[in-house]
Amino acid sequence: MEEYTQLTLDDWLAMKESLKRDLIGVQESFVRIGYTLRKIEEQKLYKNDGYETVTEFAKAEYGLSASTISRFMSINRKFSIDGYSDRLRPEYAQMGSSKLSEMLSLPDADLEMVRPEMPKADIRELKHFNKEEPVPEAADSLEKLVWKFFETNAAIAKELEQSEAYADGEAEKMVEIVNPAGVKTFRAGLYYMAMYENDIQIKQFGQQPQKMSWAEFFAITKKIFKSAEWSQRVQEEEHPKTETQEKAEKNPIAPAQIKKPESPVNTEAEPVLETPKKPEKETSQNAAQKKNEAPQSEEPRKPEEKVQSETEIAENGAESTQNATEITQNATETAQTETEEQLPGQMNLPEDYPGTESIDVLGKTMQRKEYLDTLTAWGVAEYLHKNLTAEILGNREGLYEWLKGKVDERGYGMEDVNVL
């Protein structure tokens, strides 16, 4: 059985240093390979073995692909000492070939943002940030960037705001809360931010990276946490609105929809006096009509009977007027319903799905996409065949707006309904 000896502190430190040198040696092997390939190419040494190019030579002799050969040579050219050496520059000595490969397409100024502890995925995200047009509204200032960071990382914001470190202004402990892993990246709007243990690197789109101290970061943080807008956000997060409240805010009841209390009905009929009409001019037609009408004898009524009779006539007249109005409305609605043609494939909710008779859809508008969801497969095909033009189908933005367009319960666009 192997015996273990107690290591002294010096022995332990020496072991760690030896391991570090070995690891760096493995990482620097990439730059040495690139350096050797460059020398072979520049001096055309591959011709000694009858090859036409260094790529042909390295592929035949060592099984290296053309892309691998190019990558080794590019890494040496960009990251070796003085650009032509078998050793990496010190700042890149602890980076592997995969990270260095990702960094090849970064501008030289952006290399300052990348450190050995940054994951390869974050380096790739920085490359995407440089290529993609940002959305300025998301964050067009450093204050909005920090706001967006804490809004996205709500748990970190809550822990920091409630911590003793924040109350006492202890920057080092606050850094441990915000960036416990020692490296964190965040992207929003015009900015890409890389947080490290001792400082923060921030790049604005199209500009060179700038360094920010943690003291500056927490000064902005303190301003945000003290703002009324942030307090309101925290309040809404701690006491979220119910689904009913959200619906009520999105769809407030219009004043016309609020039922007013009905005034008490007076059951005692009050005498209604007829307004005397102005005598009409008698035309020849009226005179002839009067002449042909047979005279009717009528006994004079008593005053009480006359008042009661006039009251009944007024009440009956009002009721008749109301009934006539309702009949006219019902007749109009019936005629309109009978003349409206149902689109093929459109679902009849009560017939197709029993139990949905209470669903009220008549008279409501919806997005065309929502309307299509109510149709059967055949109904969708029939509707698109009739309404979707080649011009709309060939324009993605136009098709998107067409699907968002408002239609009624029959699928007619609101502009079509107005015409009807």
Supply the pLDDT for residue 198.
Answer: 95
pLDDT of 51 over the 70 cut = yes
Q: Is there a contact between 82 and 33 (Cβ–Cβ < 8 Å)?
A: no
What pLDDT is stored for residue 243 in this prediction?
66
Between these two residues, 189 and 324, which has the higher pLDDT value?
Answer: 189
Specify whether the CB–CB gap between 113 and 209 falls below 8 A.
Answer: yes
For position 172, what pLDDT does the model report? 94
- Helices 54-62 and 66-79: angle between axes, nearest 10 degrees: 110
Q: Any idea which of 22-36, 226-240, 384-398 has the lowest mean pLDDT? A: 22-36
Most distant pair of Cα atoms in the chain: their distance: 143
Is 275 a residue whose pLDDT tops 50? no
User: Taking Cα atoms as reference points, which of 101, 97, 94 lies closest to residue 116?
Assistant: 94
- Whether 339 shows a pLDDT value over 90: the answer reads no
Secondary-structure breakdown of the chain: helix, strand, coil percentages, each rounded to the nearest 5: 60, 5, 35
Pick the residue with more confidence: 318 or 373? 373
